[in-house]
Amino acid sequence: MIVATKKWIFLKISGVILIPLMLWFILNFIRIYDQGYNEVIIFFTNSSSKFLFSLFIINAYFFSALSISEVFEDYVQNDKIKSVANKLLYVSAVVIPVITIILIIKL
């Protein structure tokens, strides 16, 4: 299978998975928006919230990394810059969710 086809399939699958996770996050964010610090901590100490939020963060960064890499492929002409930009993008798409998940798990 061609690499571009794989990226397209992963982009579509991650987008479909992201829809219910985004709805879950928005509904819970609305619920805890006006709450105090303790209520937010209670929300994130719930194991199901930790799990769903972790899935949301991983999938959101995966989706955004795939989307932004397509922009690099289409609009950046210099191959060295394109390669460095893609590598930095993929590293940040792994590092940022991992740090976020570690901090949420420590709650």
**Cα→Cα distances 48→24, 54, 89, Å:** 12, 10, 29
pLDDT digits (tens, 9 = 90+) for 1-12: 787 788 889 999
Q: What is the pLDDT of residue 106?
A: 82
Please state the domain count of the chain.
1
CATH of the domain at 83: 1.20.1300.10
d(CA 74, CA 41): 42
Q: Domain range spanning residue 100?
A: 3-105
pLDDT digits (tens, 9 = 90+) for 34-87: 888 998 888 888 889 999 999 999 999 999 999 999 899 889 899 999 999 999
